[in-house]
């Protein structure tokens, strides 16, 4: 006699997802409410869905009066929960993912949804955000995306953003996003040999960045710019350009005198002696200058 057998059969996933989608922000049968964003928009949800899909929400919703936790409690969570630092559209995208395992993204919210995915520990949502950001990257948004990728340790997205910047550097350095980069991330960009822009233009872009950062952080220009300025390849500039640079530098002290002196020394000795070899390597977009041939042995 044949023994008992069993099998797990899969029904129509799309129908199941569509049914759950109707519960997103639906007050019917909702047992938890969030008040989201500066506009205090109400978002309705269901404790059981949030708790089984997200550990962060499980911890939040398990709170019961008296400060203790009882994850098995069937008592509705106290609320509403106030989430003032997230935009409603962003929070609703997170909720949509928790209910349907899919998410609707656009360029305006993708980076913020990425931030929320990290905060809530939603790795699959994070991957979807990264894919969308990579597929829709633009000159205007690439620096903000790079900043987020560094902040959240998204190595693949970091590399993708850097390659994008290397391909259209001249346009990127003109954007507001470039001026809002942190000093650490800007220095990382400036270490690249493949930036498609001349060094003189990079110096000007860093100067504009430094003045914006100085005003925002209320710190002197030389202080905020100390890290990225070390990556400027001043020996690549011609003598006449260094003279102009010194003149501009008297106004804001962007570049340490020692760095300019090292560039002059490289010209005087007709070699990159005493200068880190990386600062003598022409970038992909560096305009050729006569003295570069004397630096070539030091760029290998």
- Tell me the pLDDT tens digit for each residue of 67-123: 444 545 455 555 799 999 999 999 999 999 999 999 999 999 999 999 999 999 999
**Mean confidence (pLDDT) of the chain:** 92
Stretch 187-206: mean pLDDT:
98
In this prediction the pTM is 0.89
Query: Which two tokens mark 279?
Result: 């600062």
Q: Is residue 248 part of a domain?
A: yes
Q: Is residue 88 included in any domain, yes or no?
A: no
Judged against a pLDDT cut of 60, whether residue 267 lies above it is answered with yes
Indicate whether 145 belongs to any domain: no
Count of the separate structural domains present in the chain: 1
pLDDT confidence bin for 167, thresholds 50/70/90:
very high
Assign 55 a pLDDT band (cuts: 50, 70, 90): very high
CA distance 224 to 222: 6
Beta pairing partners, 228: none
Specify if 163 maps to a domain: no
- Which residue range(s) make up the domain with 204? 198-283
Average pLDDT over residues 159-177: 98
* 197-216 residue pLDDT tens: 999 999 999 999 999 999 99
What pLDDT digit, counting tens, does each position of 41-51 carry? 999 999 999 99
pLDDT grade, residue 2 (50/70/90)? low
Q: Is 296 left (phi over 0), alpha (psi -120 to 50) or beta?
A: alpha
- Domain membership of residue 94 (yes or no) is no
In this prediction, residues 175-180 reach a mean pLDDT of 98
The yes-or-no verdict on residue 8 having pLDDT over 70 is yes
* Helices 155-167 + 183-190 axis angle, to 10: 60
Residue 223 forms part of a structural domain: yes
Query: Is the CB of residue 169 less than 8 Å from the CB of residue 139?
Result: no
The dihedral formed by the CA atoms of 172, 118, 17 and 131, expressed in degrees to the nearest 10: 30
Exposed / middle / buried, residue 200 (Cβ in 10 Å: 0-12, 13-18, 19+): middle
Q: Is residue 298 part of a domain?
A: no
Residue 37 falls inside a structural domain:
no
Question: Does position 297 have pLDDT exceeding 60, yes or no?
Answer: no
If one compares 262 and 70, the residue with the highest pLDDT of the two is 262
Closest to 225 in 3D by CA, of 213, 233, 237, 234: 213
């Amino acid at each position: 006699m044949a023994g008992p057998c069993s099998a797990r059969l899969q029904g129509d996933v799309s129908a199941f997802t569509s049914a759950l989608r109707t519960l997103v922000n639906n007050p019917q049968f909702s047992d938890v409410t969030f008040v989201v964003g500066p506009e205090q928009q109400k978002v309705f949800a269901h404790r059981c869905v949030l708790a089984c899909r997200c550990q962060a929400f499980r911890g939040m919703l398990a709170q019961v009066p008296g400060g203790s936790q009882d994850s098995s409690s069937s008592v509705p969570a106290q609320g509403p929960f106030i989430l003032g630092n997230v935009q409603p559209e962003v929070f609703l995208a997170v909720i949509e993912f928790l209910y349907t395992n899919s998410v609707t993204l656009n360029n305006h919210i993708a980076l913020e949804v990425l931030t929320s995915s990290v905060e809530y520990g939603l790795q699959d949502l994070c991957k979807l955000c990264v894919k969308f950001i990579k597929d829709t990257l633009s000159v205007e948004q690439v620096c903000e995306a790079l900043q987020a990728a560094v902040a959240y340790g998204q190595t693949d997205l970091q590399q993708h953003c850097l390659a994008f910047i290397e391909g259209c550097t001249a346009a990127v350095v003109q954007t507001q996003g470039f001026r809002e980069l942190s000093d650490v991330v800007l220095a990382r960009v400036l270490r690249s040999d493949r930036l498609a822009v001349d060094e003189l233009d990079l110096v000007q872009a860093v100067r504009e960045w430094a003045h914006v950062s100085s005003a925002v952080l209320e710190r002197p220009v030389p202080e905020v710019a100390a890290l990225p300025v070390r990556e400027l390849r001043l020996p690549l500039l011609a003598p006449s350009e260094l003279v102009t640079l010194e003149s501009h530098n008297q106004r804001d002290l962007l570049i340490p005198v020692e760095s300019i002196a090292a560039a002059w020394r490289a010209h005087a000795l007709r070699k990159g002696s005493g200068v880190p070899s990386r600062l003598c390597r022409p970038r992909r977009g560096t305009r050729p200058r006569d003295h570069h041939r004397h630096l070539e042995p030091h760029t290998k």
